[in-house]
Amino acid sequence: MPDIHWGYGFPIGGVAATRVSDGVVSPGGVGFDINCGTRLLRTDLTEAEVRPKIDKLLDELYTSIPSGLGSSGKIIVSQKELKEVMTRGSQWALEKGFGQADDIEATEESGCLKGADPDMVSAHARKRGIPQLGTLGSGNHFLEVEAVDEIYNREAAAAMGVYEVGQVLALIHTGSRGFGHQVCTDYLKVLAEAVQKYGINLPDRQLACAPVDSAEGRNYLAAMACAANFAWANRQFIAHWTRESFSRVFGKSSQEMGMRQVYDVAHNIAKIEEHRIGGRKETLCVHRKGATRAFPPGHPDVPAMYRKIGQPVIIPGDMGRYSYVAVGTETAMEQTFGSTCHGAGRMMSRGAAKRSLKGADIARQLAEKGITVKTCSLSGLAEEASAAYKDVADVVEVTHRAGISCNVFKSRPIGVIKG
């Protein structure tokens, strides 16, 4: 993908598809932050209504959504409830009163990846996950209040409930937190042994893998599904608190503000999918690490409301510029295993960004551009500054012209919560 950058083992911004019958599955092809992804909410509010109250809104969001390093969640689940989170994802969170019923249809896999088996998840991962459920996290994770900036495809935008420039959106970017990190750590160890057992030669131990159709491969996929579901529940909680915060500030219910979920999509995941290879239908394990599923119009896995336009793809940029929403295409099915880019892609190391940019200056520069930021880490702000990233406009121009996703609209941030 054009947002590709150097990672560890597999690059970030890559898609690796392997045949289930004789291929391998690799945790490194998914990454540590299993089901890191984005969730976009639309509103009927306009920028003119939100701007005067942006400070108050960010304060509310910052108070109601735990963020930053070492923060713990407001949701305390028991081991038994954690099992429900692992197997049922968003759907469990909805049943507990978080969110609205139509969120589920507007989520990849309806927020619940099948095949999750909690017995494949270590005690370490559970213990690390429990306090972090319902937290945004740190690093590049964020919650943005955005305004629609430009609409390229009115029909597709309208299907997503986006009609005019200035309309306000909320974008959430987070994943499975320490739970997913530990699942990946645990299975790298398991698969390092599998590599020897199956006689696989690797140039880098981070590429550890096992046949998809082996006990080790199946166990990883079952644990990965638990982490994916944890992430979907996590975004379900955060979206709920986002709606509550908007309600408190604007004195209206989320229904009155039209706060519907546009879509929720993963960009670090492995999925078992059917694809046509050389005219033949094959069952593949598609690893997307820093890549987003981009299924075309008519695909059965695309929810009914989007079946005519294709699956929405959410492509966040850096916090100082803009983000894009696109739709999946038939070309993506033919050329990239139904995948497109996931974001801007880093260009500058965190250390270099911190040395050349100061968090306080970044906050001031963003304020001059009309973007208010709230963060508990000014050094973290410098690490995530625009200059550290490629311009996402260049990235989506490539994916659009290559035809692997079609741009629908662009939005720009007006307020940002950085973890």
Cite the active site residues. Answer: 342
Residue 185 found at the interface with other proteins (CB under 8 A): yes
Cβ closer to other proteins: 31 or 338?
31
Q: Strand, helix or coil at 417? A: strand
- Write down the least CB distance from residue 200 to other proteins, Å: 14
Residue 46 found at the interface with other proteins (CB under 8 A): no
Residue 25 found at the interface with other proteins (CB under 8 A): no
- Write down the least CB distance from residue 7 to other proteins, Å: 6
Considering only 29, 30, 33, 261, the residue that binds other proteins (CB under 8 A) is 33
Closest to 232 measured CA to CA, from 367, 102, 87, 377:
87
Helix boundaries (H) for 272-389: 330-335, 350-356, 359-368, 378-383
Please state whether 312 falls in left (phi above 0), alpha (psi between -120 and 50) or beta. Answer: beta
- Write down the least CB distance from residue 4 to other proteins, Å: 10
Closest to 154 measured CA to CA, from 167, 145, 173:
167
Cβ closer to other proteins: 134 or 178?
178
- By CB under 8 A, the residues from 314 to 353 that bind other proteins are 346-352
* Inter-residue contact 274 to 78 (CB < 8 Å): no
Considering only 31, 66, 99, 161, the residue that binds other proteins (CB under 8 A) is 31
Residue 377 found at the interface with other proteins (CB under 8 A): yes
Q: Which residues contact 409 (CB under 8 A, 6 or more apart)?
A: 148, 149, 150, 151, 152, 153, 157, 162, 324, 325
Residue 418 found at the interface with other proteins (CB under 8 A): no
Beta strand pairing status for 167-174 and 24-25? unpaired
- Write down the least CB distance from residue 349 to other proteins, Å: 4
Considering only 127, 252, 275, 374, the residue that binds other proteins (CB under 8 A) is 127
Cβ closer to other proteins: 127 or 374?
127
Helix boundaries (H) for 321-391: 330-335, 350-356, 359-368, 378-383
Cβ closer to other proteins: 326 or 392?
392
Chain CA centroid to CA 399, Å: 18
Residue 9 found at the interface with other proteins (CB under 8 A): yes
- Write down the least CB distance from residue 236 to other proteins, Å: 22
Q: How much is the CA Rg of the chain, to the nearest whole Å?
A: 20
In total, the chain counts a number of residues equal to 419
Sign of CA dihedral 52, 58, 59, 63: positive
Considering only 189, 197, 364, 369, the residue that binds other proteins (CB under 8 A) is 189
Closest to 353 measured CA to CA, from 377, 376, 382:
382
Q: Which residues contact 8 (CB under 8 A, 6 or more apart)?
A: 28, 206
Cβ closer to other proteins: 103 or 384?
384
The tokens for 272 are 């078992």
- Write down the least CB distance from residue 409 to other proteins, Å: 28
Determine the Cα–Cα distance for residues 81 and 92; give it in Å rounded to an integer.
9
- By CB under 8 A, the residues from 67 to 126 that bind other proteins are 68-70, 124
Candidate ranges 102-110, 161-169, 188-196, 214-222; the one touching other proteins (CB under 8 A)? 188-196
Residue 251 found at the interface with other proteins (CB under 8 A): no
**What's the maximum distance between 2 C-alpha atoms anywhere in the chain?**
63
- Write down the least CB distance from residue 203 to other proteins, Å: 11
Considering only 23, 111, 131, 338, the residue that binds other proteins (CB under 8 A) is 131
Place of tokens 């850096």: 318
Instruction: Say what angle helices 215-250 and 54-64 make with each other, to 10 degrees.
Output: 140
Site string for other proteins, 138-167 (x = CB under 8 A): xx----------------------------
Closest to 103 measured CA to CA, from 305, 257, 271:
305
Residue 360 found at the interface with other proteins (CB under 8 A): no
Candidate ranges 65-73, 85-93, 329-337, 396-404; the one touching other proteins (CB under 8 A)? 65-73
Determine the Cα–Cα distance for residues 310 and 326; give it in Å rounded to an integer.
9
Considering only 32, 187, 232, 295, the residue that binds other proteins (CB under 8 A) is 32
The residue ranges that bind other proteins (CB under 8 A) are 5-9, 12, 31-33, 68-70, 124, 127-128, 131-132, 137-139, 178, 181-182, 184-185, 188-189, 192-193, 204-206, 208, 346-352, 377, 379-380, 383
